[in-house]
Structure 1
């Protein structure tokens, strides 16, 4: 049984499932290498307009696999210290791959997202949680730092610095209800409705203009690093002009409203 599954639950929507439920989809290299490859494959698929990432069984991802970590490819002849660097680079690349996707990524968090699994959920553009989901920055509980795989960068930007400091330094669980209240997830749904809710949102996004969606994703992420409002607005304005002047999408939207029908964007 493959450790990563790729399905298409709806037109133009691809679902990637971490498929090692007996280990709570832990981040063994046997799972993360094919997951990174799946992300890259889906990113090249021009028929995919939105992506859903989830976990099989009762967990989203339980973080580092402490019992069966798997084997890192391409480490023959390396020392332990270099192997450690390669392993962190590989896991960092998974987070970067999620961010680099042209398509928006929706994390359907079906259960615990612990440690590195918390980081994976934050690398997505949107998070929807089942009522059984919980989040924990587990590194601090294990005598390490709580900040890993981009968590120290992503979490303060998602929920604010004070909340991020408290959650990361305390090592406590954040349940689904609190996650929704503090903006860590966009909404919480009953577990049995999670994948349908994520697929429905993905399908809605897939119905919009491809460059409009892709540039919106880029602008939202770049806004988090913008040095000033003026700097961000310059980029934002150019993106808007690009779509407006190189497509007939705006005219199609106006005509569709006049005819009381959904627009069909030809880009």
Structure 2
């Protein structure tokens, strides 16, 4: 286990387990945790050794959002410049999560509120415990319901009506409904949550490294594609590139020889 005190990183083969580690504060985002997350996701951008990331949190809650105590007094001498800097600094975490080449599997227990909800939404896959609950807490503290990418991610996951309900009201969505509307992929008991995330990571690792990365690219690009022609153009280019890699040749040879492929990442 390595990393800063507020963010722990454990390497298991080609997978990294990243743990928010402020359990006494419900893993709320204070300046130290924000900077640790920024540094971590930035470091992944050109990291070919880590192929999948499992994001989780210590304690009884995933993340209670912004740590209001940790960022000073918001009520005295408000500064647009300072607020915009902080807003963009934290939001950059979510953008880097979506643009990093590694799939991100998020394991959510307890509350994921405000910025914690946005962290979970920015992942590629979400598993949750039965006690999970998410809400757009921003709108209940005098701000807007859309923050840190929530108004982008949420409608694409659950549709406009459910997203509007949640973002306009600040209501919590519980695990069972979240599963029903597609916000999470599965509900898992707390003691099996990490194993479930690692099992999915193992299945992802069956893919060739470049194939895995380009599939995440295609998913991110095609969610905003103008139509099927644009979406298939991206897929066509991806498949043509991958068909000319050494790993594709190895996959074919391994299939014919009835053995597991040995990936080279090229």
**TM beyond 0.5:** yes
Q: Does the alignment pair 1:2 with 2:5?
A: yes
Aligned to 1:143: 142
Separation of aligned partners in 1, 2:128 and 2:81: 37
Find the aligned partners of 2:25 and 2:258 in 1 and give their Cα distance: 50
Q: Is the contact made by 2:118 and 2:147 (CA closer than 8 Å) also made in structure 1?
A: yes
The alpha carbon displacement at 1:33 in A equals 0.8
Which of residues 249, 262, 265 is equivalent to 2:263?
265
Q: How many residues align?
A: 259
SS in 2 for 1:158: helix
Q: Distance in 2 between matches of 1:80 and 1:171?
A: 25
3-state SS of the aligned residue for 1:107? strand
What is residue 202 of structure 2 aligned with on the other side? 203
Within 2, Cα distance between the matches of 1:254 and 1:130? 39
Asked if 1 retains the 8 angstrom alpha-carbon contact of 2:31 and 2:70, the reply is no
Q: Deviations over 1:13-35 (max 9, x none)?
A: 00111111111111111211111
Partner deviation per Cα, 1:180-224 (whole Å, 9 max, x = no partner): 111001111101111111112112212321110111001001111
Partner of 2:184: 185
2:248 to 250, 257, 262: 250
The answer (yes or no) to whether the contact 1:128–1:188 under 8 Å persists in 2 is yes
The gaps in structure 2 that reach 5 residues or longer are: none
Cα distance between partner residues in 1 of 2:216 and 2:44: 17
Contact 1:128/1:194 (<8 A) preserved:
yes
Where does residue 163 of structure 1 map in the other structure?
Answer: 162
Counterpart of 2:15 in structure 1 is 13
* Cα offset, 1:111, TM superposition: 2.2
Partner of 1:74: none
1:59 to 58, 61, 74: 61
8 Å Cα contact 1:30/1:70 also seen in 2: no
* Structure 1 position 36 matched with structure 2 position 24: no
SS at match of 2:70: coil
Aligned counterpart, 2:112: 113
Which residue, out of 46, 49, 56, partners 1:47? 49
Query: Runs of 5+ in structure 1 lacking a partner?
Result: 72-78
Partner SS for 1:68: helix
Greater CA drift, 178-187 or 202-211:
202-211
2:27 corresponds in structure 1 to 25
RMSD: 1.9
Quote the residue 1:212 is aligned against: 211
DSSP-derived class of the 2:262 partner: coil
Question: Does the CA-based 8 Å contact 1:106-1:125 persist in structure 2?
Answer: yes
TM-aligned CA deviation for residue 261 of structure 1: 2.6
In structure 2, how many angstroms separate the alpha carbons of the residues matched to 1:177 and 1:263? 38
TM-score where L is the length of structure 1: 0.91
